[in-house]
Structure 1
């Protein structure tokens, strides 16, 4: 048996054991009756009206409850989101996508996608393995090729009046960057998009489909691992295959899980941030003109877009029954951490619901809070900055072609999935 065959066999055994021990809950879909007692982040209404819903809950019911997904909570104030994010004693990260499946308890402290799914003390060591790849210096090296790629995308739709900035621009930038970092074929971009949508927007699909979705992703990842075992090169995949933790090579589940994390999270979050920023600029000509004409304001503009349109909501699982913020949380309840809602809390930010592109003090939580703060924050900032720089330099005049045609993603990553812009 070859090395790559042993890797695949070990992975399959580990994956099967974990899936068999997990628990599934009934799928509950449909319109929300009351956001305080029946919220659902998977419904189209939430995607369209999230900012309005958070503002209403913050006043009426700061920690909302739902019986969907087997029971879940939604805090909307910054102080509550922050407190839970930092509390690793009472809240586990062994699963960070809230849906109708809960992985087995013994999956902690590693989780399925380390380090984001890892609890202390394992989390600290798993995270350290990734830090060198995401330093400011290494990210800066990718800025030049990212800028050239953004120009090539705009060259591709030159002369057209209407362009979907979500699917023809924003989506492709993080796909190219992450594919290059992992050493994956850039020609597989359609497959990456499919994996992202399955993982983050398909959580209420029927059980049979939901069980098959991870298999498709990990089949692909194992193909890439096998190729890298046969043909090592200087990229993140080879780094993970060769990495050691506690004097031993990483478990196959650890390698594939971390690759899945980098692929899914690395694409969808930045895709969403780029799209939301262009969506804002298309509707606010004063901001658009200022950022086009005054490059000096772009740095603060990027941070403000990250604050106001932060794409990411994480999830935690309650470890044991606990009283928190006036509610009684039960063991294995989900708790969603909507960092976008925290970023719009008027108790934390002045003029919280206004987008001020020259906001000077901006300690937002777009990249999360606590030990799980995004390891790729420098990379995401670079991609967003370069994407906007190139777009504004090349296309300083643009508006929404059809506001009714804009579609936002459902689930825990929020961003435009259809964004038709009229150029010029």
Structure 2
């Protein structure tokens, strides 16, 4: 079979059929008790997640909810780590907890390999991506990333108040990922819609979720066919030519990995950039110190990643199990809150404080276990460069209106609106 033959059908062949999965009842309304009725989809969570984790860690470290068809939320580092490393009892075939569960038949590949893959398939699927995300490969993108960040700052000239999320942070990973995949950079607004659909639309009715997913895979099919007609040196062409176990990748594997890079590679990083700028806008002593001491910035980046880690991943319980004193049922969700783990005082000294010169910082912002983020070098580079350029070009800034800051809902946490006063 030639490469072209794999992509002669429509976009529905690039994704798993949602009809084969299961949809649970949509439960809405205010949370009654975070220990027994939590929801990560509401504004209360978006605004106050850190306080919620701290409260639960003390009184109910493994919270439960009947929403989403049943879900668990461990908040201690040791519990989050234990689930992340336990591939015997927990499957990665579903990583976005909501009212839809992918079919068991998707394992061990999953819909967005390798992050949705279980062993033993996961190892080889992940290995395929490693060459694109080494330190050397990422280093080759730093100069263009720095130039792009500078152009964004140039575009803010003459404005007293700017939205550092919408006008700066969100554009950076969009451009980087577009360049890596060989997608048109002017499609950035589409990418942002795809991200929001995937991560913040988890409680939508089945037909709406299917329609939104279809739009993403229709777009990916257009890009795939363009690359087949005009091969070039980028990650999409690499995936189209890659082989696993002696065969070209299945269409769903190619498109699923592209969808993963497009969604996970964008929202996570723009959230980390935005949260870092939010912190510095509200803590002038830290801002002044990083302006005066550029050599401290790499260490500050690690602390921002610990304190404002954006990513929570999900797992599905494989079979009924008693786990650390709670009765988990097959197909229950488990939310791996790496942000909550990063603020566990049993793991980190002065865990609730942001110490930009913290010496020992073995944080879990990029996950734990076999699914530790393959793009961690890329994310670090983008965050470091974004802060470098901003601090060098915009050394004086503050929150224009703290009440106007809006944080995202769902499993990726970061500012969606961040009005800053310049000067």
**Deviation, structure 1 residue 20:** 2.3
SS of structure 1 residue aligned to 2:140 = helix
TM-score by length of structure 2 reads 0.98
* 1:34 alignment counterpart: 33
* 2:12 alignment counterpart: 12
The one-character-per-residue Cα deviations of 1:27-80 (angstroms, maximum 9, x if unpaired) are 112210000000000011001000000000000100000000000000000000
**Deviation, structure 1 residue 325:** 1.7
* 1:195 alignment counterpart: 194
Are the equivalent residues in 2 in contact too, given 1:272–1:416 (CA < 8 A)? yes
* 1:235 alignment counterpart: 234
Are the equivalent residues in 2 in contact too, given 1:29–1:43 (CA < 8 A)? no
* 1:184 alignment counterpart: 183
* 1:283 alignment counterpart: 282
> Taking structure 1 as reference, are residues 407 and 251 closer, same or farther at Cα in structure 2, changes over 3 Å only?
same
Are the equivalent residues in 2 in contact too, given 1:113–1:261 (CA < 8 A)? yes
Q: How does 1:361-372 map to 2 (within 5 A)?
A: 361-372=360-371
* 2:62 alignment counterpart: 63
Are the equivalent residues in 2 in contact too, given 1:311–1:366 (CA < 8 A)? yes
Structure 1 stretches of at least 4 aligned residues deviating more than 2 Å after TM superposition: 1-6, 10-16
- Whole-Å separation in 2 of the counterparts to 1:189 and 1:359: 35
Listed as ranges, the gaps of 5+ residues in structure 1 are none
**Which one is further off, 7-16 or 284-293?**
7-16
* 1:158 alignment counterpart: 157
SS of structure 2 residue aligned to 1:37 = coil
- Whole-Å separation in 1 of the counterparts to 2:8 and 2:22: 25
- Whole-Å separation in 2 of the counterparts to 1:343 and 1:322: 26
**Deviation, structure 1 residue 159:** 1.4
Q: How does 1:136-285 map to 2 (within 5 A)?
A: 136-285=135-284
* 2:76 alignment counterpart: 77
- Whole-Å separation in 1 of the counterparts to 2:69 and 2:115: 22
The one-character-per-residue Cα deviations of 1:260-292 (angstroms, maximum 9, x if unpaired) are 000000000000000000000000000000001
- Whole-Å separation in 1 of the counterparts to 2:27 and 2:131: 42
Are the equivalent residues in 2 in contact too, given 1:11–1:253 (CA < 8 A)? no
SS of structure 2 residue aligned to 1:317 = strand
Q: Tell me if 1:349 matches 2:374.
A: no
- Whole-Å separation in 2 of the counterparts to 1:229 and 1:14: 16
Aligned alpha-carbon RMSD (Å): 1.2
- Whole-Å separation in 2 of the counterparts to 1:367 and 1:151: 27
SS of structure 2 residue aligned to 1:129 = helix
The one-character-per-residue Cα deviations of 1:398-423 (angstroms, maximum 9, x if unpaired) are 00001111000000000000000000
Q: How does 1:108-119 map to 2 (within 5 A)?
A: 108-119=107-118
Aligned length: 423
> Taking structure 1 as reference, are residues 210 and 124 closer, same or farther at Cα in structure 2, changes over 3 Å only?
same
The one-character-per-residue Cα deviations of 1:328-371 (angstroms, maximum 9, x if unpaired) are 10100000000000000000000000000000100000000000
SS of structure 1 residue aligned to 2:15 = helix
Listed as ranges, the gaps of 5+ residues in structure 2 are none
Q: Tell me if 1:316 matches 2:326.
A: no
**Deviation, structure 1 residue 323:** 1.0
- Whole-Å separation in 1 of the counterparts to 2:10 and 2:249: 12
> Taking structure 1 as reference, are residues 20 and 207 closer, same or farther at Cα in structure 2, changes over 3 Å only?
closer
- Whole-Å separation in 1 of the counterparts to 2:135 and 2:291: 25
Are the equivalent residues in 2 in contact too, given 1:11–1:252 (CA < 8 A)? no
> Taking structure 1 as reference, are residues 188 and 10 closer, same or farther at Cα in structure 2, changes over 3 Å only?
closer
